[in-house]
Amino acid sequence: MRRAAAILAGLLLAGSAGAIDAQWITGCWRLAYDPEDRPSDALEFRADGDVDNVWADGTRVPGFYVVAPDMVKAVFTRNGRDVITVFHYDSAHTELRIVTSRTGRESVYRKKAGEGPCRP
């Protein structure tokens, strides 16, 4: 996973100019719309650059993320394999959108209001 982190960070740093204020990303984001009707999940972004994909059954898949000027890139490690995921965000920072690899349709995550455990 560390090799994937180094590659991802290098690619993002090469393409970005200056620091990005990424405090808006921290917290719990729940799946609000999925055109494929998959089970709900959530994303828990932490200020230290770590993120968990939280499944409906409580399983947490760990990863890390980097915020770029027009997207959030995350790498999740499951069963020893790294999966790079790209989320696009709106200018108000209220939605994260991801295009599914199976159908090319967009799923939408919205930030959960308030504190408490991050659950789908």
Domain map (residue ranges) of the chain: 2-111
Beta pairing class for 95-99 and 60-67: unpaired
CATH class of 2-111: mainly beta
Residue whose tokens read 């994909």: 53
pLDDT value, residue 83: 93
103 close to 96: Cβ distance less than 8 angstroms = no
Residue whose tokens read 């760990």: 62
Mean pLDDT by 10 residues, the chain (120 residues): 52 49 92 88 95 95 95 95 95 93 88 82
pLDDT value, residue 10: 53
